[in-house]
Structure 1
Amino acid sequence: MPETSDLSVLIVDPNPSMRGNLHNMLNQAAITKVEYAVNSGTAIRLLTKKPFDIILCEYDLGSGTDGQDGQQLLEDLRHHKLIGLWTIFIMLTSEAIHSKVISAAELTPSDYILKPFTVDVLSGRIARAIERRAMFLPTYQLIDKGDLREAVKSCRAAELQHPRLAADFTRLRAELHLTLGEWKEAEQLYADMLATRPMAWAHLGLARTLFEQQRHEEAQDALLELVEIYPRFMAAYDLLAKNHEAMGQQLQAKKILEDAVAISPHMVRRLRHLGGIAYDTGDIGAAERAYKQVVTKAKYSEFRDPEDHVNLVKTLVKKGDAPQASGVLRDMERSLRGGANVEACRAISAAMLHELSGNDIAAASELQLAAAALDTARGLSTQLKVGLVQSCLKNNLEQAASDVMMKLVNEADSEVTMEAAVDVFEKAGRHDLAQGMGQQITNQVQELMQDAASKSESGELKGAVFVLRQALRKTPGNLPVLFASVDAILRQLNMLGWEAPLAEQAQHQMQVIRKIDPKHPKLESLKQQYAATQHKYGIAT
């Protein structure tokens, strides 16, 4: 296999003799660029520094004593984007483990190889994976560049060019339509696939399109049918739980997640989800069990999240179990590295414990520290920050509550709108602070509108569109901002050329306007301007 001589391989296996055997097999297959990792942590540290073409990973990495199993490692690598779409990940398993893993796998590797195996088996599987990757690589590269529309075209062409893999390319094309928010296009692809070749992934994809279109009852029917046919297809349980939540059926969502955890108990994000729903529905026992598993299973991950400890402390405090909650806090302080995120989580947890013991002064002091730590913290959840605002209000820290909420609203990737921010203060019985918060955000939006107008007048068309996007994020139902945004987008399209994603933004914003005020006198004018812009570039209506 001389064509494989330039491939780089990472072997992840705690057993030195197995690492040596694999290295020898790879050498016999003309692969000489080989490195080792003895556990998941070592693998992650290596992959943060350099990419590998192939990862050969033992499933049993000693997860019971000193780390994650191979499936959990794959989950971390995919979730944190440490491996690309083109990375070949091959799981090595015993037959007994394989029978369990393959039926419940949610993040499937490129291949499984059952032990024991020969060098011919290994080289053959690698050759097959390389051949497949070569066919997908042009599309993967377009996705990596963010050019999803060209990637869709590439998939369509590849379906004809490689008929043996047509279903795989159709699947990828449907997933790209989902990413682009093109639910109808994705729905049609999945429906066509199911009509000719019923497959679990197509069934799930169709349910996803129904869910995204808020056709929740249809999605529920499709998902219930799916889990009946494929009772170990775990992604179906996750979507079914989300669908129940969207329908306001929290208890049903909890039951579905409990069923899923009973089948596949190692997926950390699912356990977090279960813990949150159990807590919200008042099942503190179930929340405690779920969050304890999260903390335990994430213990050896390089991506440990101090919020897991906060959630467990919150649950134990709700239960009134101060000794256990204190132990969790001590574990956070001892086992997690210092940093703004850890300090914020430590202070929030300590404040909850002080509240439980009736020490309001100490609780307020910790909340002040938590609010200050947010200035340099990164990646903490919106839920945690909103909870901090609520705790500050409860402890009469009005200024801290307002400051934290304003920072949250102004974060670039925040989904908290003016309406949601004001609602937090109203529900806390602080109408005065709610009014003040609403006025501050209104003033910011007005300033953004003025800035956009100035940029537009000076020819900074892209800048104007960007600024108005910020204003819409804060007030998505604000008609003056919506009209200004559509107008700015149309100006940019007319002056700087057609951009399909930008045109879609304009279309979506006009649909929002139509929902709010279908008879608004300016709406028809915008529609005509949009049609004229399409005509200018020869875009089919």
Structure 2
Amino acid sequence: MPDYSNLSVLIVDPNQSMRASVHNMLTQVNITKVDHAVSAATAIRALSTRSYDVVLCEYDLGTGADGAGQDGQQLLEDLRHHKIISPWAIFVMLTSEGVYGKVVSAAELLPTDYILKPFTVDVLSQRIGRALERRAVFLPVYQLIGQGRAREAIDACAANQATQPRYAMDYARLRAELLASLDRHAEAEQAYADILKAKPLGWAQLGQARAVYELGRLADAEELLRQLLADNPKFMAAYDLLARLLREQDKDADARQVLEDAVALSPHMVRRLRNLGDVALATGDVAGAEKAYKQVVAKAKYSEFRDPADHVNLVRALVHKGDAAGAAGVVRDLERSMRSSPSVDVCKGYAASMVKQLNGDAEGAAAELAKAMEKLAEATGMSSDFKLGLAHSCLENRLDEQAAALFDQLIASPHSEVDADQVIALCKQAGRQDIVKRYTVSQEQAVDAVVREAAVLARTGDIRGAVSALQDALQRYPTHADLWSVSVTTMLRQIAELGWDAGLATQCTTLMRRMREHNPQHTLLPGLLAQYAALRQKAAANPTPTSAESS
């Protein structure tokens, strides 16, 4: 029998007798370092303070207050999403055969293994041994990833896929995920397509759709996702991506329907309910937003990932409804139920200001908002959407200096995904044409500066640097039409000088499509299309590794 005496194990199960039974089995195979967790929340607390070699988790974690209705699969997704456990952690799901059949085909993030109940000590021992063996096989690749050497890990996956057929599919999936993590989306799309040639796997279909989405081919991504859901209507992650994609195309009503369908199937995922509340409010469905946000606040009450911004969202919905008393009650609940911190104080001030504004107390609203802005610099975890809403309230309450500082911070941050167009739209909503003019002029000046910088870099031979500068500008100003033609011209020059790059080529076609939609008579478009076609034909005739591959 293998020596498991050094292993540490966490058992997650609400049933005391089942925990005792599994613990006894572990003792029989000389595993004595065993801890227990009775719910998702207690498991998260345990895993946040120490690491375990193996987690044995019951799928049905019950619907008690502490568990908040979460099941083992949702716990796994939370642990991965918040990076509480590493991608190579051994997480084994204990479940019945009926549940296994429903979950295994619908989950994007799979556990290391499933053990079907009832099971014997021999089965448990064998499965733990198999999981340890698999982790040992993948450990060299995991170590490369942990060291930030993702490109080398990709090469290792490709080599091992050919030499270790037993784990070929696992290596193929890991390689595709690593390509996506490096923004090599064209290669990731092809990697997922190769996997799908062997077997129609839901996670591979989703991965391909994600890659296509990242490449800007939204219609193609939507088609892939709808086909995935037609084949497998319980693949929950596909609903989330489809809703996000639809919202980016201003199809909020369609996105709301997608999220409602998802919540009907899986009602306990807080992030999905939060998204449903956001899209309901955006489409004017105040009652739907109130319902979703109330569920978020209730379900997150005992969560380790509780977010005070959820109370703000509920207050916003109630203010839209005109329910001042209900909104004030939510503010009081926030004050009572969450310990003071900069993030909580920002949310309390923001929520209280909305209530005072609804009650006609303009002076009190501005004062509460000022308190929130004073704490914002110390707060953590505030989303870009939250900050945009806060800035909008500042405009409404004539706190122009604070709003401008927040807008500038969001536009300058490459991670905020906020551009000048969004800021301009918010200023228009607030009836502040004076601020609109400022940001319109600022946007033109910023784009002009980037174009000049790119031209200098290109003239001095740094064509990659020129393209990179323009790509950064495109992220900040995605609707600036003049930037499209300059970017395509520079990208095509890089391809001509340095060789075919699939990702760059896809970005060129996306930008040229936007140019045609914006102005079918664009004078530069025919020449750019001809240049692209010539470069593509040359690449097809003389295939060489792409610049991404050679790096």
Shorter-chain TM-score: what band?
0.7 to 0.9
Q: 2:22 is matched with which residue?
A: 22
The equivalent residue for 1:53 is 53
> Equivalent residue for 2:114?
112
Q: 1:466 to 1:195 in 2, by over 3 A?
A: closer
Distance apart, 1:3 and its partner CA: 4.1
The 5-angstrom pairing of residues 348-359 of structure 1 reads 348-359=350-361
Assess if the C-alpha contact under 8 Å between 2:246 and 2:254 holds in 1: yes
Q: What is the SS of the residue equivalent to 1:4? A: coil
Corresponding residue of 1:39 = 39
TM-score (norm 2): 0.80
2:128 is matched with 126
Cα separation, 1, equivalents of 2:330 and 2:109 = 30
Kindly tell me: are residues 72 and 332 of structure 1, through their superposed partners in 2, closer, same or farther at Cα, counting changes over 3 Å? farther
Using the alignment, how far apart are the partners of 1:56 and 1:50 within structure 2?
15
Report if the CA contact (8 A) 1:402-1:437 is conserved. no
When residues 409 and 247 of structure 1 are mapped into structure 2, their CA distance, relative to the original with a 3 A threshold, is closer
Q: Aligned pair 1:71/2:73, yes or no?
A: yes
What is the CA distance between 1:117 and its match in structure 2?
2.4
Q: Counterparts in 2 of 1:72-471, with a 5 A limit? A: 72-94=74-96, 101-102=103-104, 104-411=106-413, 413-437=415-439
- Cα pair 1:104 1:264 within 8 Å, conserved: no
- Go from structure 1 to structure 2 and tell me whether the alpha carbon gap of 1:45 and 1:195 turns closer, same or farther (over 3 Å shift): closer
Per-residue deviation at 1:327?
2.1
Range 101-110 or range 261-270, more displaced = 101-110
Deviation readout 1:33-81 (Å, 9 max, x if unpaired): 2223343333323322322121112334453232343333323211110
The 8 Å contact of residues 371 and 404 in structure 1, kept in 2 or not, is answered as: no
Deviation at 1:406, TM superposition (A): 2.6
Please say if residues 450 and 470 of structure 2, whose CA atoms lie closer than 8 Å, have aligned partners that are also in contact. Answer: yes
Supply the distance in 2 between the matched residues of 1:23 and 1:332 (Cα, whole angstroms): 40
Tell me the CA shift for residue 410 of structure 1: 4.1
1:166-187 residue CA offsets vs partner (Å, 9 max, x unmatched): 1222122222222223333222
User: Cα 1:52–1:400, aligned 2, differ >3 Å: closer, same or farther?
Assistant: same
Q: CA deviation at 1:284?
A: 1.6
Of 425-434 and 344-353, deviating more is 425-434
Equivalent residue, structure 1, for 2:461? none
Report the AA paired with residue 47 of structure 1: L
Q: Distance in 1 between matches of 2:141 and 2:277?
A: 38
Go from structure 1 to structure 2 and tell me whether the alpha carbon gap of 1:192 and 1:403 turns closer, same or farther (over 3 Å shift).
closer
The residue identity in structure 1 corresponding to 2:40 is S
Q: CA RMSD in A?
A: 4.4
1:77-111: CA deviation from partner (whole Å, max 9, x where unpaired)? 11110100111112233566656655654533222
Note the C-alpha offset of 1:441.
7.8
- CA drift at 1:273: 1.2
Letter in 2 for 1:302: E
1:368 CA drift (Å): 1.1
Structure 1 residues without counterparts, runs of 5 or longer:
453-462, 491-497, 528-533
Structure 2 unmatched runs, 5+? 455-464, 516-523, 536-543
Post-superposition offset of 1:387: 1.0
Query: Could you tell me whether the CA contact under 8 Å between 2:105 and 2:202 is conserved in 1?
Result: no
Greater mean deviation of Cα atoms: 252-261 or 88-97: 88-97
User: Letter of the aligned partner of 1:354 in structure 2?
Assistant: K
CA distance in 2, matches of 1:205, 1:469: 23
* 1:144 aligned partner, one-letter code: G
The CA deviation at 1:512 is 10
- State the SS of the aligned residue for 1:72: helix
Contact 1:187 1:205 in 2 (8 A): yes
The TM-score with structure 1 as length reference comes to 0.81
Aligned-partner residue type, residue 253 of structure 1: A
Deviations 1:453-489 (A, max 9, x none): xxxxxxxxxx99999998887667797xx99xx99xx
Q: Output the CA distance in 1 between the equivalents of 2:468 and 2:45.
A: 36
**Percent of residue pairs bearing the same amino acid type:** 50
SS at match of 2:94: strand
Aligned AA for 1:64? Answer: G
1:341 Cα offset (Å): 0.9
